[in-house]
Structure 1
């Protein structure tokens, strides 16, 4: 395929150019390219052509929780939103805490994912030897829940934590919340409100202090052992003190923000309630603005989603029964484009934080940039358009979005995965084209 008349945003530059795809990869980028015989031409009409989003944090719920989502349904929603690659978390049923289960998960993904995929290996209190035996290309990284999680995945033994940071053969990524502090806050809330705790109490129960204490521990262990650490979904201004501004290449400790923490604030609990209940919690407007500033000053290195679907029925429960997490991958770019229109972000930064930086930090091979020789994972974005999020257009298996009824400035017009159209003008093409990501 030849893409003509594109406005390419890539590596800090904006260029009017054509782009030729051959055998799934970018063959040539030039101001004008004559279409070779038999090559399909796609006119981009001056719209923004960017590298597809690489989402380093999703929960697609397979295996074991497939009433909420699976690799097929959620990756289909992802490509409709311009996400071309994802890294799926290990808190499945069973949890992915052995190399055999990890290999089985990869085998189940073949031919079923619309986007490219990689999987995390889960840390637990009893699998340190399995972690130490991991080979570089077996997993994208090692996930450690330093806060409450499902099943066996809360790593709360100090010796095990120390061993993981000391012996990990690849990057460690952490969910940082202090469980004893959260339990104490839950007990206090139950004593005050009973079982029906207001949703607006969530950021006080899963508090700034609980996040700060756990992040301090993770960063301290990484510094002690010289570990490669990536802290997921930061939510507070106070925690930013642990991270430095500057080029990604100079860092061994990095940090991520998620789109919902950049987009929503605690004021939104009044209208959305448990629909935006997530861990760690969406916090104050001051925290939201501090996170946005940190993205712009390169203190926050990556933007992801933490896509975590639950059914509407589950979300309708009272506080302690309503699960945490919200579906986001179909609307990642739309939310970020809205922030660009508000002047809170710019598109070059969005591209860097959602594609370039993820590929660089995780060592993804030949993706994350629009470069000759790289895989043609691309998204075509119309920043002049408007998209109203309607329930009937939601592709998540759970069938709802916290954005329903909102009109966002921007639209994803097309997505290419491995050089082939995966989505165009509201239609996801029927054949899953995703490949397993490779790492160096």
Structure 2
């Protein structure tokens, strides 16, 4: 192959996680791309080489749900710290949310945000543009070079600056998204139900009662509205951080009926239950709330059955000072991009110890690589194959280690997973053929992650 004359790096592995399954093989990398996937090393002797040994070589992971807080909220998180946490978690690409200060509601705001981030990101990135409640019709003419997805905060979200509260405006957003071919991503909770409950028994004043005050009915009612809007207008919609068994059933049934509706499961809804919120308090105060054991079991069953399209971290850090406010004033959210892959791997190995690890590795690659790459139109991402970007995650499946605050790279400096004994460890993270995280030396690479253009080839 003539291209092999351009090889800059050869990665040999016994466990390449490819679209066809796990296999032994060799990746020939040059110019930031995978030039070939072969059975043997055919590169010139002078080329740099890396032996992955028994580690899985996954496609570089994609977290399609992060809040890196730039601009305006960088006291909680910034792109340098957020991208360090991502790289340490095996993530090479992130999609960032628009609820910043000011919010990212226009092409101009997207360009300004990209300029702020340039030179400060270890990882490649795109942005979900925000739906402006006053101008939802703008989605019909959205330039796909700017954004291909748009975030709607439905009325159950109390802290975002751009909540769509009016039913007519919400419907206009679905109509415009269908016209413009825009992928909607939704925080789907019904705030009117929460207001009814708060008016009846007051806002939550203890974490023992937090889930009851922000119950599953808010999510179920909102998802039912989304199903009807998708049915009526044909817009593509992706439910974020789905939290209950009933929501999983609704979305799965809608998709089986042919509707373009998908959903995400977060690491924290798979890892914690409402009993943990009673114990950990604000650390697992989230929106949507952490549910009970039966809901967690249903989400795991959905994961095993292949029903979600993505896993996401909803990485949304707050400072310790913010999290130690009163129950009524403490903001929802936790850091999670660093913990996502290892937490889900830990859960899979504990729940299904008899399962072939290769099956689990392919599942991880599906939900954290090929799935989000396809859903959000990220050319070159999510697969180990010739022509794809040379983004790799070297993952040791059997390593065990305990997470401490000293190992947290998010700016907030804390994790809800502190004290957890994890199974699985990210050894190296490689973006565009260059190492951006090395576990052995705890060092990072260059802050030259790029803004991804969905209209580019790849």
> Which TM class, normalised by the smaller chain length?
over 0.9
Aligned to 1:154: 163
Answer yes or no: is the 8 Å Cα contact 1:417–1:433 preserved in 2.
no
1:414 counterpart = 2:423: no
Counterpart pick for 2:65 among 46, 57, 61: 57
Tell me how far apart the structure 2 counterparts of residues 114 and 381 of structure 1 sit (CA, whole Å): 19
- CA distance in 1 between counterparts of 2:159 and 2:420 reads 32
Q: Classify 1:417/1:50 alpha carbon distance in 2 versus 1 (closer, same or farther; 3 Å).
A: same
Distance across 2 between alignment mates of 1:22 and 1:430: 17
The structural deviation recorded for 1:270 is 3.0
- Structure 2 counterpart SS, 1:293: helix
- Shifted more, 400-409 versus 428-437: the winner is 428-437
Q: SS of 2:435's equivalent?
A: strand
CA distance in 1, matches of 2:134, 2:187: 18
Deviations 1:3-37 (A, max 9, x none): 12341122251101111110111112112214424
In the alignment, is the contact (CA less than 8 A) between 2:157 and 2:287 conserved in 1?
no
Match of 1:178 in 2: 190
What is the CA distance between 1:105 and its match in structure 2? Answer: 0.8
Question: Deviation at 1:246?
Answer: 11
* Partner Cα distance (1:392, 1:292) in 2: 30
> What's 2:3 paired with?
none
Which residue is 1:321 aligned to? 329
Q: TM (normalized to structure 1)?
A: 0.95
Contact 1:243 1:253 (8 Å CA) reproduced: yes
Per-residue CA distance 1:33-90 (angstroms, 9 max, x = gap): 1442432111111211001211111111110000000111101110111011010000
Counterpart selection for 1:366 from 368, 380, 387: 380
1:282 matched to 2:290: yes
Q: Which residue of 2 aligns with 1:405?
A: 419
| SS of equivalent to 2:163 | coil
Residues 1:95 and 2:103 aligned together = yes
1:393 aligns with 2:410: no
Moved more, 382-391 or 420-429: 420-429
Segments of 5+ residues of structure 1 without an aligned counterpart are none
Q: Which of 209, 217, 232 is residue 224 of structure 1 equivalent to?
A: 232
* Counterpart for residue 152 of structure 2: 144
1:184 to partner: Cα distance: 2.7
- After superposition, the Cα gap between the structure-2 partners of 1:140 and 1:80, relative to the gap in structure 1 and judged at 3 Å, is farther
How far apart are 1:266 and its partner, in Å?
Answer: 1.1
**8 Å contact kept, 2:137–2:173:** no
Query: Does residue 354 of structure 1 match 2:362?
Result: no
Deviates more, 1:83-92 or 1:387-396: 387-396
| Preserved contact between residue 227 and residue 254 of structure 2 (Cα < 8 Å) | no
2:20 is the counterpart of 1:17 = no
Look up the match of 1:214: 222
Give distance in 2, aligned partners of 1:6 and 1:255. Answer: 33
- Residues 254 and 261, structure 2, Cα contact 8 Å, conserved in 1: no
Partner residue of 1:257? 265
Give the whole-Å Cα distance in 1 for the aligned partners of 2:254 and 2:193: 32
Q: Is the CA contact (8 Å cut-off) linking 1:418 and 1:434 kept in structure 2? A: no
Q: Secondary structure at the match of 2:308?
A: coil
Taking the aligned partners of 2:10 and 2:19, their CA distance within structure 1 comes to: 21
Q: Could you tell me how far apart the structure 2 residues matched to 1:372 and 1:277 are?
A: 43
Specify the SS of the correspondent of 1:396: coil
Aligned to 1:163: 172
Three-state SS of the structure 2 residue aligned to 1:404 is coil
State the Cα RMSD in Å.
1.9
Aligned to 1:329, the other structure's residue is in SS state: coil
> Quick one: which of 391, 397, 400 aligns to 1:383?
397
What residue number does 1:336 align with? 344
**Paired residue total:** 435
Match of 1:26 among 28, 34, 39: 34
Structure 2 residue 439 is the aligned partner of structure 1 residue 425? yes
Does structure 1 residue 233 correspond to structure 2 residue 241? yes
**Residue number in structure 1 paired with 2:454:** 439
